[in-house]
Amino acid sequence: MKVKVRIAPSPTGFLHIGTAQSALYNWLFARKNGGTFHLRIEDTDRERSTKEYEHSILYALEWLGLNWDGEVVRQSQHGIKYRKALERLITEGKAFWCNHTKEELESERKEQGEKKEPPRHICSHRNNAMHYPASSPQRINDWVLRLAVDRDVQRKIIFDDIIRGRIEFDASLLGDFSIAKSLDDALYNFAVVVDDIDMGITHVIRGEDHISNTPKQILIYEALGKEIPKFAHLPLILAPDRSKLSKRHGAVAVVDYKRDYLPEALLNFLGAMSHTFSKELLTKEEMIEEFELSKVHKSGAVFNTEKLNWFNSQYIKKLEPSKFLELAGIDVPEKAIPLITERLEKLSDVQNFDYFWKEPEYDKELLKWKEFSLEESKKSLEESSKILEKTENNEAVRSAFDELGQKLGNRGLAYWPLRVALTGKEKSPDPIDIAFVLGKEKTLERVKKAIRSL
Ligand code: GLU
């Protein structure tokens, strides 16, 4: 059996970080097992789906390098398949029309609530063969098509989830659930099953928020007489309060990460979040090599931005210099690159190093070191200027500054004013390293400018 998996995002929003993780695990599983990974756009919600979201989903997957096999499948193009499958189930008596009103369904629900039973519809229309009133494919009033669900109270729907083990549901608790609003308006669970059958999906790997849909989908497979795929439900990505990560917790759209993060870092982070690998940093190839659905965790992991930043900083350090400059959108001498990448967690933080490409601007008060006066900073800078003028090599400059520190009776007094003069900032790499990147001329210019300001 050749493995065939898919992700099925709805284009009603940008690619969510959780869907990106599902995509990664599906992709790793397919690549590991010599199978194929497919993309299906679930665009049946015509009002909320947009082409713009669809494009951005494709774009985000491409950015992450999660290439899919074959053509993109779109549910909106499958109306005829759903209709045929629905007609077949009606003909075989496995699905039936129901036109119970909202109020009737509501009072049934209320009664069930009082008896502490789960809400469901046990439809009396099933046996008296209600006939859909017209040939019109459009929905009429309250009419829906329902699956005739086994009322045997003993019946259990059981599946062996590859990640979570055996999962059981009582079929009788599902009621005769709806599968379409009209012949041309199949509902979510029905469309998913028809498509998964049509595409020959062997393993449905998706978020655990779909577990409750799975028994319904299994009954639809049975009604259609088709083989049931294997299921694996992935843990959810959680917010710090352990609720499902959503917009109110910050950025959840993958495209929002593009500005700051490298795709390799985001993938490694998402991969390691809910799967145990032998080490922390892995290339995609290494992840493929080690990936096992059985090594996916059962419980959800909290999205930890600091951890993501750490992964990112590791990948930033490994970038080729020219690639780094391109991604960061800056132009600095090559010698400056390690000084920046050593300390960079997010690409946009490169602005903290703007003194490499523009004149620093700062309030002269910043030149003051701790309890010392501005006058003392001025003296320190005058000495610094002399050292920088006559000393050529890095080590010699360094020891001259150490001596200056001793002479001034405070090491910080030697280094702080120089740091501020060169960068205009309180935090930076070693100012002597910066001086070497800037070159003698520019360094002296900045030091003299600082002296003049005092
Ligand atoms: N459209 C569903 C979602 O985005 C996909 C469900 C599935 O994978 O079966 O959650």
pLDDT beyond 80 at 140: no
CATH number (domain holding residue 407)? 1.10.10.350
Parallel/antiparallel/unpaired status of strands 178-182 and 144-147: antiparallel
Assign residue 74 a region: left if phi > 0, alpha if psi is -120 to 50, beta otherwise? beta
Q: How does the average pLDDT of the chain come out, rounded?
A: 94
* Cβ neighbourhood burial of 429 (10 Å; 0-12, 13-18, 19+): middle
| Cα–Cα distance for residue pair 323/334, rounded to 1 Å | 12
CA 209 / ligand 1 centre spacing (Å)? 9
CB 28, CB 271: distance < 8 Å = yes
pLDDT beyond 60 at 137: no
Looking at the structure, tell me whether residues 277 and 385 fall in a common domain.
no
Residue 126 maps to a domain? yes
Looking at the structure, tell me whether residues 92 and 134 fall in a common domain.
yes
Looking at the structure, tell me whether residues 202 and 118 fall in a common domain.
yes
| Cα–Cα distance for residue pair 108/110, rounded to 1 Å | 5
Looking at the structure, tell me whether residues 86 and 163 fall in a common domain.
yes
Res 368: pLDDT = 97
Which residue from 241, 235, 222, 276 is spatially nearest to 89, judged by alpha carbons?
A: 222
Which residue from 207, 272, 232, 166 is spatially nearest to 29, judged by alpha carbons?
A: 232
CA 9 / ligand 1 centre spacing (Å)? 6
| pLDDT 10s digits, 183-224 | 999 999 999 999 999 999 999 999 999 999 999 999 999 999
In Å, what is the CA distance from 80 to each residue of 157, 186, 191, 270?
A: 29, 10, 11, 38
Which residue from 132, 148, 134, 122 is spatially nearest to 99, judged by alpha carbons?
A: 132
| Type of residue found at 358 | K
State percent of the chain over pLDDT 90. Answer: 87
In Å, what is the CA distance from 344 to each residue of 58, 303, 316?
A: 29, 20, 7
| pLDDT 10s digits, 299-323 | 999 999 999 999 999 999 999 999 9
Looking at the structure, tell me whether residues 115 and 206 fall in a common domain.
yes
Looking at the structure, tell me whether residues 83 and 221 fall in a common domain.
yes
- What would the mean pLDDT of 137-160 be, rounded to a whole number? 85
| pLDDT 10s digits, 20-35 | 999 999 999 999 999 9
| pLDDT 10s digits, 38-52 | 999 999 888 999 999
Looking at the structure, tell me whether residues 302 and 419 fall in a common domain.
no
3-state SS track over the chain: CCCEEEECCCCCCCCEHHHHHHHHHHHHHHHHCCCEEEEEECCCCCCCCCHHHHHHHHHHHHHHCCCCCCCCEEHHHCHHHHHHHHHHHHHCCCEEEECCCHHHHHHHHHHHHHCCCCCCCCCHHHCCCCCCCCCCCCCCCCCEEEECCCCCCCCEEEEEECCCEEEEEEHHHCCCCEEEEECCEECHHHHHHHHHHHHCCCEEEEEHHHHHHHHHHHHHHHHHCCCCCEEEEECCEECCCCCECCHHHCCCEHHHHCCCCCHHHHHHHHHHHCECCCCCCCCHHHHHHHCCHHHECCCCEECCHHHHHHHHHHHHHCCCHHHHHHHHCCCCCCCHHHHHHCCCCCHHHHHHHHHHCCCCCCCHHHHCCCCCCHHHHHHHHHHHHHHHHHCCCHHHHHHHHHHHHHHHCCHHHHHHHHHHHHHCCCCCCCHHHHHHHHCHHHHHHHHHHHHHHC
Q: Is the CB of 8 under 6 A from ligand 1?
A: yes
Residue 408 maps to a domain? yes
Residue 420 maps to a domain? yes
Q: Which two tokens stand for residue 131?
A: 């006939």
Q: Is the CB of 44 under 6 A from ligand 1?
A: no
Residue 26 maps to a domain? no
Q: What is the CA radius of gyration of the chain?
A: 32
| pLDDT 10s digits, 323-375 | 999 999 999 999 999 999 999 999 999 999 999 999 999 999 999 999 999 99
Res 139: pLDDT = 67
- What would the mean pLDDT of 127-150 be, rounded to a whole number? 74
Q: Is the CB of 206 under 6 A from ligand 1?
A: yes
Q: Which atom of ligand 1 is nearest to the CA of 188?
A: 1
CB 34, CB 3: distance < 8 Å = yes
Q: Which two tokens stand for residue 163?
A: 């990640």
Q: Is the CB of 328 under 6 A from ligand 1?
A: no
Residue 214 maps to a domain? yes
Q: Is the CB of 217 under 6 A from ligand 1?
A: no
The owner of tokens 């189930």 is 89
Which residue segment(s) compose the domain that 261 sits in?
Answer: 247-326
pLDDT beyond 90 at 138: no
Res 134: pLDDT = 58
pLDDT beyond 60 at 7: yes
Number of domains the chain contains? 3
Domain boundary among 326, 349, 373: 326
Which comes out higher in pLDDT, residue 411 or 139?
Answer: 411
Res 377: pLDDT = 98
Res 128: pLDDT = 65
Res 172: pLDDT = 85
Res 99: pLDDT = 87
Q: Which two tokens stand for residue 130?
A: 């209600």
Res 391: pLDDT = 81
Looking at the structure, tell me whether residues 89 and 220 fall in a common domain.
yes
Domain boundary among 234, 255, 279: 234
Domain boundary among 234, 257, 290: 234
| pLDDT 10s digits, 347-359 | 999 999 999 999 9
Res 135: pLDDT = 57
Looking at the structure, tell me whether residues 322 and 378 fall in a common domain.
no
Res 203: pLDDT = 98
pLDDT band at 124 (very low <50, low <70, confident <90, very high): confident
Catalytic residue numbers? Answer: 247
Looking at the structure, tell me whether residues 380 and 417 fall in a common domain.
yes
- What would the mean pLDDT of 412-428 be, rounded to a whole number? 97
pLDDT beyond 70 at 453: yes
CA 7 / ligand 1 centre spacing (Å)? 7
Q: Which atom of ligand 1 is nearest to the CA of 213?
A: 9
Residue 342 maps to a domain? no
pLDDT band at 142 (very low <50, low <70, confident <90, very high): confident
CATH number (domain holding residue 281)? 1.10.1160.10
Residue 25 maps to a domain? no
Looking at the structure, tell me whether residues 196 and 116 fall in a common domain.
yes
pLDDT band at 158 (very low <50, low <70, confident <90, very high): very high
Q: Is the CB of 18 under 6 A from ligand 1?
A: no
pLDDT band at 150 (very low <50, low <70, confident <90, very high): confident
- What would the mean pLDDT of 278-284 be, rounded to a whole number? 97
Looking at the structure, tell me whether residues 197 and 224 fall in a common domain.
yes
Q: Which atom of ligand 1 is nearest to the CA of 9?
A: 4
Q: Which atom of ligand 1 is nearest to the CA of 206?
A: 8
CB 173, CB 118: distance < 8 Å = yes
pLDDT band at 17 (very low <50, low <70, confident <90, very high): very high
CATH number (domain holding residue 180)? 3.40.50.620
In Å, what is the CA distance from 450 to each residue of 77, 132, 133, 381, 419?
A: 68, 86, 87, 8, 11
